[in-house]
Amino acid sequence: MIKQARIIELPKFLDVRGNLSFVEELKHVPFKIERSYWIYDVPGGETRGGHAYKENQEFIVALSGSFDVILDDGEYTNIYSLNRSYYGLYVPKGMWRQMQNFSTNSLALVLASTHYSPTDYIHDYEEFKKWIK
């Protein structure tokens, strides 16, 4: 099993007027949130990610539609299918991660533990394998 990565179920208030879910930092999300970004209008068949972060941790929610997140800790690989807006995937630092199989009109919300930093990225898989050792 992949180290520490896990699906976290969020609170949900089911209501005939429409449902409501929420996240709180250091409660449902196991880090302080420094940044949020979202991925949308992904054309069919496209892949996002394909890199690792040395320090940044993430919490990924499929706010709408569905997609898969593939995590690789250098030893094991797991595929997490996200298709409900009340589940989040916690992605620890130091994971190779890729997002694919986006459904039409899917919307991925990503909460991140650090500000954007290009130097935190590892873009080359072989470099990642060396770094993780």
Q: Which residues are catalytic?
A: 51
Q: Smallest distance, Å, CB 88 to ligand TYD?
A: 17
- Residues 87 and 9: beta-carbon distance below 8 Å: yes
Pair of tokens at residue 44: 């069919």
Q: Which is nearer to ligand TYD, 5 or 69 (CB)?
A: 69
| CB of residue 49 to ligand TYD, shortest distance in Å | 5
**Which one, 12 or 48, has the nearer CB to ligand TYD?**
48
Spell out the residues 6+ positions from residue 119 whose beta carbon is closer than 8 angstroms to its own.
none
Beta carbon nearer to ligand TYD, 51 or 54: 51
**Tokens 């916690």, residue?**
90
Closer CB to ligand TYD, 86 or 107, in the complex: 107
Tell me the closest approach of the beta carbon of residue 103 to ligand TYD, in angstroms.
17
The residues of the shown chain that bind ligand TYD, judged by CB under 6 A, are 35, 37, 48-49, 51, 116
Least CB distance from residue 68 to ligand TYD, whole Å? 14
Residue nearest to ligand TYD (CB): 48
